[in-house]
Structure 1
Amino acid sequence: MAVNSKKRAEWLIAQLNLEREMNLADIGARLTKEKPGYGLVMAVGAARLHAFEPEPEAFAEIEASKPERTTLYNAAVGKPGKATFYAHQIGSLSSVFKFSEACARYLNKGFWTKREVTEIPMTLVALDEVKGFPRLDFLKMDVQGAELDVMKGGEHTLSEAVMVVPEVRFYQMYEGEPTWAELDTELRRQGFVLHKFLHQKSVLLGSRRWKQFKPKSGSQLLDGDAVYIRNMEEPENMSDFQLKALAVMAETVAESHDLCAFCLTLLQDRGAIASHVLGHYMGRVPAEVLRAAEPKPESAPDAAATETEA
């Protein structure tokens, strides 16, 4: 019988016997006790989270609370140099790009443009230039259009990473915001390929009858969280640790059980894990992703016995 995701993750991490703790980063998310997916990895002591808070007072407040297994950096990551941060009253819309009023009108989100926006000057640094920052195994980012700049400035930091989860925009919300196509091209240039989407958000367009539609029936794609993984076409170029890290993140963040099994197969072939791990893992994955066991064929009657009876 399959076990729940927490127990399955704990069991998997124990079986993999990681050589070191993984380095994870979540750029653009306020620190909270609830950490999506990778919180399971941190909870069992298998990873450390690296987070950013550029505002001095907020940095001091978070640092004083001593978040568990977290290293905090007083910096803002993006395209190096001076920038203006447009702090929107709706925090999730804040960005270093100016909000597009034309976009808001089309998406039937006129109220977005009526909220206060405060312009805050700041200095951005490239991810590779952050003092003391380690090479990452995993990166999640939600920086409202600045994901491309983060990637361009973090090539060294991400040179051994196995998974990147960016928010990708299907419809541009900000003036001068890079397209998803540009971000995808940069991710592929750095050796990552699109694996899956964790979710996609659509909005309901306005019309004289828009209130007759169900709220979640909108058709216009807006954005979503995509999962990019290290290109696996030449797995011999990946270290044992990278394969183990990808197996863990596939299980916990992407919920891609087939990808986890793929990594475990490679590790087993290398003799890097015990031979029973893959089989035992398959006994723990959710039943709904597995084929039903085929019934064994009934034994054919013994020919000699049949002749005797006749």
Structure 2
Amino acid sequence: MTDNEPDFLHDLIRPARLTSVVDIGANPIDGDPPYKAMLQRRLCTVVGFEPQDEALAELNARKSDLESYYHYVVGNGHKAKLRLCRIPGMTSLLLPDQNVLSHFAKFSEWGTVVSEHPVQTRRLDDIAEIRDLDFLKIDVQGSELAVFGSGRQKLKQAVAIQTEVSFLCLYKEQPTFGDIDGELRRQGFVPHAFTAVNRRMIAPLSDPSNPYAAMNQLLEADIVYVRNFMRPADMTVEQLKHLAMIAHHCYRSFDLAANCIHHLIARKSIPDRSIRDYMASIQLPQP
């Protein structure tokens, strides 16, 4: 599909506006963001935040008219230190834990702090540039919990969050997966899917030809949380529409999108035939 062609699902459910994406830690070091297809089809807007100068300049150089990026450090609203590490992907407000890093090939080198910069963090709820928030994508190397805690008002509107979680904490005082899971469940979200799982080989065993070699040890994962679809009465019509759009386009979660359509029909927001039309438009995965 080109960006000029109509989108079947969008035309079927007709949300009142484009889906609003907020991307905290927008540096695309791990590949394309999950909303790329929506952005290409002009189905969403993006407000992004990236504190690293080079990454921000690159984002601004190639952005479309639907994207805005800001040099903000999102956190708990307090003053902090931004610790730039040898590789940009490990830059954090937290101090790398060299004891933990030493158990995995190359991590001690990658997590070496090369400079520190005082910063004033901003609470998610206080950022005026965020008018709507349907989908939050966040990767801030250990500060995710602080962002969620400072954004409870804005996150009441959100229907999906993709966040990095840690099973072993690479930074000192870093919240664990359990901490993140508990906070997001309290805010009305449930786990939906893992999009990536990061494993590594435990030292002293290593593969000199491949620093990314892995066996079983879990380090981190990217996980998607969605507004609890088992409590549809807690969502507005517009939230159900944006959840359907995100589920369909970002994750190919056609079952979740169909569930949203089912509830939209029950509320008389879209025609009864919509579920049949949607099911006819998708290809279910083969066993």
TM-score by length of 1: 0.82
2:73 alignment partner in structure 1: 76
Q: Could you tell me how far apart the structure 2 residues matched to 1:246 and 1:220 are? A: 33
Name 1:168's counterpart in structure 2: 165
Cα distance in 1 for residues equivalent to 2:231 and 2:113:
50
User: Residue deviations 1:202-242, cap 9 Å, x none?
Assistant: 10122357569996442110111111111123212211111
Residue of structure 1 in register with 2:33 after alignment: 36
1:130-149 equivalences under 5 Å are 130-149=127-146
AA at the equivalent of 1:194: P
- Corresponding residue of 1:264: 261
Cα contact 1:50–1:70 (8 A) shared by 2: yes
Q: How many residues align?
A: 286
Superposed counterparts of 1:62-211, under 5 Å: 63=60, 67-112=64-109, 115=112, 117-207=114-204
> CA separation in 1, counterparts of 2:189 and 2:35?
19
Which segment is superposed worse, 56-65 or 91-100? Answer: 56-65
3-state SS of paired residue (1:30): coil
Cα 1:114–1:217 change in 2 (3 A) is closer
CA distance in 2, matches of 1:280, 1:212: 51
Equivalent position SS for 2:223: strand
* Structure 1, unpaired ranges of 5+: 292-310
Give the superposition deviation at 1:37.
2.9
Tell me, in whole angstroms, the C-alpha distance in 1 between the residues paired with 2:25 and 2:276.
Answer: 38
Number of the residue aligned with 2:246: 249
Q: Structure 2 matches for 1:2-17, cutoff 5 A? A: 10-17=7-14
1:142-180 deviation per Cα after TM superposition (whole angstroms, max 9, x unaligned): 000000011001111111110011111111100111111
Q: Of residues 17, 22, 26 in structure 2, which corresponds to 1:25?
A: 22
Alignment correspondent of 1:233: 230
TM-score (norm 2): 0.88
**CA contact 1:140–1:164 (8 Å) conserved in 2:** yes
Alpha-carbon separation, structure 2, partners of 1:31 and 1:69: 17
Report the counterpart of residue 220 of structure 1 in structure 2.
217
Unaligned runs of 5+ in 2: none
For 2:49, the equivalent position in structure 1 comes to 52
Distance 1:62 1:215 in 2: 27
Q: 1:74 to 1:131 in 2, by over 3 A?
A: farther
Task: Specify whether residues 139 and 113 from structure 1 end up closer, same or farther in structure 2 by C-alpha distance, changes over 3 A only.
Answer: closer
Query: How big is the alpha-carbon RMSD for the aligned residues of Structure 1 and Structure 2?
Result: 3.0
Describe the SS at the equivalent of 1:259: helix
Aligned residue identity for 2:229: M
**Equivalent residue letter for 2:131:** P
**Structure 1 counterpart of 2:202, which letter?**
L
Identify if the C-alpha distance between structure 1 residues 113 and 163 changes in structure 2 by more than 3 Å, giving closer, same or farther: closer
SS at match of 2:181: helix
Give the match for residue 301 of structure 1.
none
The amino acid that maps onto 2:237 is: D
Determine helix, strand or coil for the equivalent of 1:86: strand
Q: Secondary structure at the match of 2:133?
A: coil
In structure 2, the partner of 1:303 is: none
Residue pair 1:135, 1:158 contacting (<8 A) in 2 also: no
Whole-angstrom CA distance in 2 between matches of 1:202 and 1:186: 24
Deviation sequence 1:30-76 (CA, Å, 0-9, x none): 269x7423122223332210111346787577557653301233321
Write the distance in 2 (CA, Å) between the matches of 1:232 and 1:143: 27
